[in-house]
Amino acid sequence: SQTIHQWPATLVQPVGSPLSLECTVEGTSNPNLYWYRQAAGRGLQLLFYSVGIGQISSEVPQNLSASRPQDRQFILSSKKLLLSDSGFYLCAWSVTGVVSGSSGEQFFGPGTRLTVL
Amino acid sequence: AQSVTQPDIHITVSEGASLELRCNYSYGATPYLFWYVQSPGQGLQLLLKYFSGDTLVQGIKGFEAEFKRSQSSFNLRKPSVHWSDAAEYFCAVASNQGGKLIFGQGTELSVKP
């Protein structure tokens, strides 16, 4: 079966410090991968998605970047954190392309709570 | 443009009462629709999905949802709510762009004892 991991679970960082959040998926190959952010009391904002190694699409201009160095690894980074980067970060995966029985559902990791002070 | 609207930001129901969470979508073709649940501090869990066939779909934890094309709705229901159902619920539609999902803003459910 497929599993998705995120770490760290929680992180407290000072303003201006760098950031690296990691997401890995097991049990599937060539997944689509996604990074979302939830600010307090708000819905999900899609930050980045990737359809393959080295292929990253950014949804919103911001202080963050993403990379996919391996098929099942997705990394969210920042060189200098801002207060506004605080939030709950979720990684998700879905099956690539049109696959029999797939309707595009995404499967989410447990999330990382980031607090920038 | 594709969109999902969840009109109720917060709903409170008594334990044992029935529940209906509303979701309206805007999509040109036959939509793929989803309901997710998020407990505090957790990731999202898929409750159920619709992409074809029977318009009444059954999900996990005793939830069901009905797809009504004429009303562009996909409302989530449960006949008897349990205290453990208190959570945030998100409705989503599959975008026609690159496997993305478009999420509603969520409905927070509180359950009174």
User: Cβ of A56 under 8 Å from any chain B Cβ?
Assistant: no
Q: Compute the distance between CA of residue A63 and CA of residue B93 in angstroms, rounded to an integer.
A: 28
Which DSSP string corresponds to chain A? --EEEEE-SEEEE-TT--EEEEEEEES-SS-EEEEEEE-TT--EEEEEEEEETTEEEESS-SS-EEEEEETTEEEEEESS--GGG-EEEEEEEE--S--TT-----EE---EEEEE-
Q: Which tokens is B20 given?
A: 């209906």
Listed in sequence order, the residues at least 6 apart from A61 whose beta carbon sits closer than 8 Å to its beta carbon are none
Q: For residue A113, list chain B residues with Cβ-Cβ distance below 8 A.
A: 41
- B96 in contact with A, Cβ within 8 Å: no
* B 2-31 near A (Cβ less than 8 A): none
CA atoms within a 13 Å half-sphere pointing along the CA-CB vector of A85: 27
Mean pLDDT of B38-66: 94
User: Could you tell me whether strands B64-68 and B73-78 are parallel, antiparallel, or unpaired per DSSP bridges?
Assistant: antiparallel
Which of B100, B103, B107 should be substituted to probe chain A, the one whose Cβ sees the most A Cβ atoms within 10 Å? B100
Query: Residue B99: pLDDT above 90?
Result: no
Would you give the DSSP letter of residue B32? P
Question: What's the pLDDT score for residue A100?
Answer: 42
Inter-chain contacts counted by CB atoms under 8 A, chains A and B: 54
Give me the mean pLDDT over the B10-25 stretch: 97
Identify the band that residue A102 occupies on the pLDDT scale cut at 50, 70 and 90: low
Whether A36 has a pLDDT exceeding 90, the answer reads yes
- For B43, the closest of A42, A46, A108 (CB atoms) is A108
